[in-house]
Structure 1
Amino acid sequence: MQRVAQIVGLAPEAVTRYQELHASVWPDVLRTIHACGIRNYSIFLREPELLLFAYFEYIGEDYEADQAAMAADPVTQEWWQLTMPMQRPLEGRAEGDWWAVLPEVFHVD
């Protein structure tokens, strides 16, 4: 199992709509997330900075292939067309990343 933490900004005018969308995520999007090996997925909002922090656990065997499968899913693409314009990627993220990946510095079970 691989733990993943990510961060991205959120546009001030999008806070309410972003929360509304995530209060009732489309079932097909949730099925794709699950099919791609993602479990225990949470997104948190830090105000007043308007930073979204996401955490999930990946239980699959090929993270890149599963991420590509998710990106190829038409319903997920439609979902991202709604949510991505609300987000503000941070400077310094890895090339090709939308959300900046955070390195794990501590974990205890």
Structure 2
Amino acid sequence: MQRMGMMIGLNGEKVAEYKRLHAAVWPEILELISSCNIRNYTIFLREPENILFGTWEYHGTDFEADMAKMAANPKNKEWWAVCMPCQVPLETRAAGEWWAMMEEVFHLD
């Protein structure tokens, strides 16, 4: 199992829309996330800075393949098309990242 953390900005004019979308995530997206071996997925919002922090556990054996499966899914492309305009990627993110990935420096079970 691998824990992951990530951050991204949220457009201040889109906060209500983003909350509405995530209060009723499409069932197909929830099923896809699970089928891609992601568990305990949580997104937190810090207002008024409008920073999103996401965390999840990856329980699979081929992260790249699972992420490719997710990216190729037509329903997920629709989901991203409504969610991504709400987000503001951090300027300091690594090349190829949308959400900026974070290093885990402490964990306690």
Corresponding letter in the other structure for 1:9? G
Shift of 1:108: 1.4
Give the equivalent residue in structure 2 for 1:108: 108
Identity %: 57
Structure 1 residue ranges, 4+ long, deviating more than 6 angstroms after superposition? none
User: What is the distance in 2 between the residues matched to 1:77 and 1:34?
Assistant: 16
Corresponding letter in the other structure for 2:86? M
TM-score of the superposed pair, with normalisation by structure 2: 0.99
Gaps of 5+ in 1: none
Shift of 1:68: 0.6
1:52 aligns with 2:52: yes
Give the equivalent residue in structure 1 for 2:98: 98
Gaps of 5+ in 2: none
User: What is the distance in 1 between the residues matched to 2:60 and 2:68?
Assistant: 13
- Residue-by-residue CA offset, 1:14-73 (whole Å, 9 max, x unaligned): 000000000000000000000000000000000111000001000000111100100000
Corresponding letter in the other structure for 2:52? L
Give the equivalent residue in structure 1 for 2:78: 78
Pairing 1:37-48 to 2, within 5 Å after superposition = 37-48=37-48
1:12 aligns with 2:6: no
Structure 2 SS opposite 1:8: strand
Shift of 1:92: 1.3
Corresponding letter in the other structure for 2:37? G
Shift of 1:91: 1.3
User: What is the distance in 1 between the residues matched to 2:108 and 2:12?
Assistant: 35
TM-score of the superposed pair, with normalisation by structure 1: 0.99
